[in-house]
Structures are given as C-alpha cells and as structure tokens.
Structure 1
C-alpha cells in the first residue's frame, strides 16, 4: 500500500472518531421528566365541609 491509498481511510476513521468516539454527556432521570397537573385546580372541590351532613340531616 502506498501513502495515498491509506490517507482517505485514515481521514474517514478520524472523522468517525471525532463524531462517534465519545459517549454523550449523561442526563439525569430528574431532567427527563416534566411534571404538570393533569387538570386545573377547582376551588369548588376544596369547599367541601365534612360536617355539612350533620347540619342537613340531624338538625
């Protein structure tokens, strides 16, 4: 083999190594999850009075 025949292979190998030679940076699992509420908060749901049945049915 002559020097001219090995140069394209070496250049291609160097290019591959530059692109794929190292693993990408590690991503933490906490950074891959996006949390958002499934529904909007409803203030009517929080207005429940557990003692209301006493007032309605026992008085």
Structure 2
C-alpha cells in the first residue's frame, strides 16, 4: 500500500501565517552558529598518570655502569 499525500492549497488569508512562519524560521535558522576553532575542539591529557618511580630511571645510566 502506498502513502498518498495531498497538497494544501493556499488561500489569500494564509499568506500572513506563511509570512509569520517564514519570519520565525529565519529567526531560528537565518544565521550560522559562531565559528569554533579546531584548537578548541581537542582536549589533550596524558594517557596514564605520571609514575615517579618509573621516571627516576636515567636512560644513560647503563653507560656509566657497564662501559666505564
């Protein structure tokens, strides 16, 4: 079964309501929203919490211990 739609016919007294609808539509959708910068759309935070015990390791320490 198909759905049949009927077209509404406008009468002269409907123009004021159509104009009012157009004005309301323009008030709501007539302007673009404020621009958002890409920098404001990204949140940066560390993936893990900093671990002080892990950060105490010095990457070049093995040079002093084993090559000295």
Unaligned runs of 5+ in 1: none
> How large is the RMSD of aligned CA atoms in angstroms?
2.1
1:19 and 2:28 correspond: yes
SS of the residue 1:16 aligns to:
helix
TM-score normalised by length of structure 2:
0.67
Report the Cα distance in structure 1 between the residues aligned to 2:51 and 2:43, rounded to whole angstroms: 22
1:43 and 2:52 correspond: yes
Report the Cα distance in structure 2 between the residues aligned to 1:23 and 1:16, rounded to whole angstroms: 13
Equivalent residue pairs, number: 57
Unaligned runs of 5+ in 2: 1-10
Please list every run of at least 4 consecutive aligned residues from structure 1 whose deviation after the TM superposition is greater than 6 angstroms: none
Shift of 1:41: 0.1
Shift of 1:34: 1.0
